[in-house]
Structure 1
Amino acid sequence: MKKILSFFTSRLFIVFALIAVQALIIISVFYYFDEESEILQNIFFVLSLIMALYIVNKRQNASYKLAWIIPVLVLPLLGILLYVFFSQRKITKKMRQKAKEIYEKTSCLLEQDAQVLGRLEEQDLSAMRQADYIRRSNMFPVWEKTQTQYFPSGETFFEQLKAELEKAERYIFMEYFIVQEGVMWNSILDILKRKADEGLDVRFMYDDMGCARTLPFQYYKKLRGMGIKCIVFNTLKPELSSIFNNRDHRKITVIDGHTAFCGGANLADEYINEIEKFGHWKDASVMLKGDGAWSFAMMFLQAWDFMVGEENNCGAFLPEPRYVENYQTDGFVQPYCNDPMDDEYISENVYLNMITRAEKYLYINTPYLILDNELMAALTNAAKSGVDVRITTPHIPDKKMVFMLTRAYYEQLLEAGVRIYEYTPGFIHSKTFVCDDKMAIVGTINLDYRSLFLHYECGVWMYGTSSVMAVKEDYMNTMPLCGEVEYEEIRRRKWYVRLMQAVLRVFAPLM
């Protein structure tokens, strides 16, 4: 009863309740006049056709467009409102211009070393094409002189994170989607407060929706009182607007410009299994030491400038040469990010490039599997071509409806020869790709519409690093803990389960 009461009095519930009231008032008014007037009915019908034509001609992913056309045509008024407030990838023109100016001012600090790109081309032309696509689309270069370390669990990531934070001498930047008071966050906060007291530039950014149920209202004031510079990304407001759709799903820590972390783990106790929510929680992160860490520093500073409206002298945060020159090359690394500023679907394209380049095997960990036509075609074509494609998803879900939707894609994948496993001890939150002992991706990007099209995300593409094999080793070590999903088992689904899944696929972009 206490949990139910807590939910209904939470800021998240109150905000969305107020938004729902606004939406219901608008819909009720329109439907009232709709029932009273055949002319209005015809107007709504025409508007739905116009909206459908508008969606068809947008420069958007085809599957994403199709998923929206159905509700727009079937539910003319409601469908249009849902599309306007839940589908928009691009933010306002003014905000896009502001972001563009920030990127242009900082691009000089992210210039590609032609010799590095040339050495990658000598080793693998196909890999160089992948890296060059990321650089041209995302401005972040491919680096050498960077050591990588992969963490197959939240616990190992947490211990290393604390150790590296203790070493900070100049600044600490942290950007996370979810933060919750407990063993993990309190331990980190103690370090941040102490470092701020020592005079370091400590900055923290958290997403307001991600933390709406986990942190007290205006928690940033508490951090500022400790000397920590803190801002809230995209403050949640009780108004009907599509902007709340664009969340900061990134997880970034940068220390002095030479050390950075990225991965799936947020700063809450379930990520280190200090508490149990959905069985054993398995996550993955990677640490960069050397040149490559600078890209994450720039991601953070660009986002900070965008939110605060101040112009940092980003060059002042460059790592000191005495640190970077000590790191040896461990293959090639390329951090990258994705945002809703344009129509370039970098997150999905990087995944697609990895899938199409796989020759022997492709192993994927993802907590959610909500595929558009492009990803489905790429995965099934790879499997039909003889590539050993394996996907691991959770067995114990955090969201039951999303889990049911995830399973809706199993049949077509299994039919093509893709092998699917579910992590039976609990919930796998890792977002990793690895193929052919050559390339791997570790990051924050789920295989769902929100991560691929709406959120601010980040990841690290790696070629020939020690972490590539570590990702593979982790995948193989995890397989004995997983149950393989059989094709016949999925084929025997009850008719009402199939019907529910079919309905959920229509509304997949909302999930």
Structure 2
Amino acid sequence: MKILKLLTHRVTLVVLLLALQLVLLFGSVWYFKDDFVYFYIVYIIVSIMAALHIINGRSNPAYKIAWLIPVMVLPIFGTIIYLIFGRLRIRKKYQEKAKLVLQKERNAIAQTMPNLLPEDQNPDAIFQSTYIKNNGGMPMFQNTESKYLPLGEDVFASMLEELEKAEKYIFMEYFIIEEGKMWDTLLEVLARKAKEGIDVRLMYDDFGCLFTLPDGYYKKIEKMGIKCSVFNPFVPVLSSIFNNRDHRKITSIDGKVAFTGGINLADEYINEVERFGHWKDTGIVMRGDAAWGFTLMFLTLWDFQRTEERDYADYYPSFKADEKIESVGYYQPYTDMPFDNEALGENIYLNLINRAKDYVYITTPYLIIDNLLMEALCTAAKGGIDVRLQTPKIGDKWYAHALTRSNYEQLLEAGVRIFEYTPGFIHSKTFVVDDQYATVGTVNMDYRSLFLHVECGVWMYQTTAVAEVYQDFVEVEKICDEITLEKARDINWLTHLGRAVLNVFAPLM
């Protein structure tokens, strides 16, 4: 039965169909081997055009190098693979659709929210806020209170509490959903709320759930009265479009309460099952105007998928007189889309690093960074900024963990301090800077998050959560293993060689 289940699993069928297409493609090339001279001339022309396309494209330089190697080194096959998978080209219809829904989002913001700037006129805060608004669409929000949640278990408990209070709508969007204690408990609440007449919607990424949900799972969800949308359904056709995944984690309740962070809806995130030691993850719950920003972000992608919504402002919440908000500081939600040429997530991180005066503390599960981030971190440390990184002791992917550790030596030489989370795997994505700024969200420090995925987060200035993120970092550091330069260099030649090879292809992972 297990073998039969494996053979009929959607993943197996997809892999077989993709393999068949590759065999047919390469078989066609082999078929023309007798006309080698003519074929070779065509191949040289196509390879040169591919190389020129790579070099003159707007993609990250490391991404260019990673593709130039197979194109130039692997005769015929490298070029074919690049033409299928390597082009970061977004179809024009997607670009036009993205522009349309983003304009609807901006119209809703203009109807509902003032254009705020920090009252203290801090030029660094104004710079970051203006950049996010001009390139991500979301303004700065006040009238918001928040609580930083240092563990997945805390996020789960808070989410259950807030979902029970829903009166009008519940919007949830996640990269991974897996049946188990966490999701089954949440689903019971969602189904019950849908029966009460509340507008309940769920969006999940098809590739993210390829191994965790059965094919056609959305049909089961919709039978419960929950509207369901599957982002970028994965079909067995050779195409680069499947590089673009929805990696966001958003829950919005009535436009009044919103959650984001690293947490997906599966049991390892709340340590109900153990996969890589203790799973350290984080999130944040916001109550007030900032939640409206996350509502709009959800509606925008939902509309992009299904083209349903007319006026997003119809979902704007009205707070009751007894719903008092103890607001401190400023919040600015942001979303990074792969449908433009703006690396919003990376630039927010770069702005935080480059404008730091005292310290930059970062948690990330993957440290697979390009030259811009590497130079920013090293330059900050060399300039006397206290730069610290927390990464996992136990990786969830061996190659990602190897690439993360391959970057340690250069950072340590510059004065960056690196701490590995001894109990297991750290999945949170947070920055805290100078007791003034913080960001909590979904953006990993790797190429896929920074350039290929739909991502989100919230940048904060002088909020109570800034101190909470800082305190969590300090407490976690106590149970971490600090990596010294000697430790980073104490590897055998085979490991060093393996990391060197992996680094060449890091932008493709």
**Fold similarity call, TM over 0.5:** yes
1:116 alignment partner in structure 2: 116
Once the two structures are superposed, the pairs formed by residues 298-309 of structure 1 within 5 Å of their partners are 298-309=296-307
d(CA) in 2 for partners of 1:403, 1:300: 31
Bigger Cα displacement from structure 2, 242-251 vs 18-27: 18-27
Q: Does 1:399 align with 2:367?
A: no
Aligned to 1:172: 170
CA distance in 2, matches of 1:487, 1:393: 16
CA distance 1:389–1:118, shift in 2 (3 Å): closer
Deviation string 1:442-487 (CA, Å, 9 cap, x unpaired) is 0011011100000011001001011111111111100121111121
| Equivalent position amino acid for 2:79 in 1 | I
| Partner deviation per Cα, 1:252-305 (whole Å, 9 max, x = no partner) | 000000100001000010000011111100101011110111111011111111
Q: Is the 8 A contact 2:363 2:428 kept in 1?
A: yes
The answer to whether the Cα contact below 8 Å between 1:86 and 1:510 also exists between their aligned partners in 2 is: no
Q: Are residues 322 and 209 of structure 1, via their aligned partners in 2, closer, same or farther at CA, if it must alter by over 3 Å?
A: same
Which amino acid in structure 2 is aligned with residue 443 of structure 1? G
Equivalent position of 1:285 in the other structure: 283
Match of 2:354 among 353, 356, 360: 356
Comparing 313-322 with 425-434, which one deviates more in the overlay? 313-322
Q: 1:365 and 1:217, CA in 2 relative to 1: closer, same or farther beyond 3 A?
A: same
| Structure 2 counterpart of 1:24 | 23
Structural mapping, 1:202-241, within 5 Å: 202-241=200-239
The 1:160/1:358 distance shift into structure 2, 3 A limit, reads same
**Matched residue, 2:333:** 335
1:422-437 residue pairs with structure 2 within 5 A?
422-437=420-435
Q: 1:103-140 CA distances to partner (integer Å, 9 max, x unpaired)?
A: 11231212396662152xx3411111001000000111
Counterpart residue type for residue 81 of structure 1: I
Q: Cα 1:233–1:115, aligned 2, differ >3 Å: closer, same or farther?
A: closer
Structure 2 counterpart of 1:238, one-letter code: P
Q: CA deviation at 1:84?
A: 3.3
Compared CA separation, residues 263 and 6, structure 1 to 2 (3 A)? farther
Matches within 5 A, 1:62-461: 62-111=61-110, 116-119=116-119, 122-322=120-320, 326-461=324-459
Structure 2 residues not aligned, in runs of 5+: none
Answer yes or no: is 1:51 the counterpart of 2:50: yes
Q: Is the 8 A contact 2:108 2:311 kept in 1?
A: no
TM-score normalised per structure 2: 0.96
Which secondary structure state, in structure 1, belongs to the residue aligned with residue 308 of structure 2? coil
C-alpha RMSD of matched pairs (Å): 1.9
What is the one-letter code of the residue matched to 1:481?
I
Contact 2:118–2:330 (Cα < 8 Å) also in 1: no
Cα–Cα, structure 1 residues 441 and 309, in superposed 2: closer, same or farther, change >3 Å? same
CA distance, structure 1, for counterparts of residue 400 and residue 360 of structure 2: 24
Aligned CA distance change for structure 1 residues 52 and 460 (closer, same or farther; 3 Å): same
Q: Deviations over 1:349-370 (max 9, x none)?
A: 1111111011111111111111
Q: What is the letter of the counterpart of residue 43 of structure 1?
A: V
Structure 2 CA distance for partners of 1:41 and 1:98, relative to 1, 3 Å: same
| TM-superposed deviation, 1:46 | 3.2
Using a 3 Å threshold, how does the CA distance of structure 1 residues 24 and 490 change in structure 2: closer, same or farther?
A: farther
Identity of aligned residues (%): 52
1:12 and 1:209 in contact (8 A); partners too: no
Contact 1:172 1:254 in 2 (8 A): yes
One-letter code aligned to 2:27: S
Structure 1 position 57, deviation (Å): 1.2
Matches of 2:482 and 2:92 in 1, distance apart? Answer: 47
Q: Aligned to 2:102, what secondary structure does the other structure show?
A: helix
| Contact persistence 1:89–1:246 (CA under 8 A) | no
Residues 301 and 113 from structure 1, CA distance in 2 versus in 1: closer, same or farther, beyond 3 angstroms?
A: closer
Following TM superposition, by how much is the alpha carbon of 1:184 offset from its aligned partner in structure 2, in angstroms? 0.4
Deviation (angstroms), 1:40: 2.2
Report what 1:488 is aligned to.
486
Quick one: which amino acid aligns to residue 96 of structure 2?
Q
The one-letter amino acid paired with 1:95 is Y
Q: Is contact 1:71-1:506 (8 Å) kept?
A: no
Distance 2:297 2:254 in 1: 14
Where 2:129 maps in the other structure, the secondary structure is helix
1:133-184 Cα offsets, whole Å, 9 max, x none, are 0000011111111111100000001000000000000000000011111110
| Distance in 2, Cα, partners of 1:396 & 1:316 | 46
Return closer, same or farther for 1:13/1:485 CA change in 2, 3 Å cut-off: farther
Shift of 1:36: 5.0
The number of equivalent residue pairs is 508
Q: Which runs of 5+ in 1 are unaligned?
A: none
Taking a change above 3 Å as real, the CA distance of residues 505 and 34 of structure 1, as seen in their structure-2 partners, is farther
Distance in 1 separating the partners of 2:477 and 2:278: 15
> Displacement, 1:61?
2.1
- Of 467, 470, 476, the residue aligned with 1:469 is 467
Aligned residue identity for 1:49: I
Give the whole-Å Cα distance in 2 for the aligned partners of 1:451 and 1:7: 30
Residue type at the aligned position of 1:398: D
Shift of 1:313: 2.8
| Matched position secondary structure for 1:22 | helix
1:8 offset after TM fit, Å?
A: 5.4
How much has 1:198 moved relative to structure 2?
0.6
Deviations 1:80-109 (A, max 9, x none): 333334344442101111121111123121
Q: Does the residue aligned with 2:146 lie in a helix, a strand or coil?
A: strand
Instruction: Measure, in 1, the Cα distance between the counterparts of 2:318 and 2:108.
Output: 14
The change in CA–CA distance for 1:5 and 1:391 in structure 2 (over 3 A counts) is farther
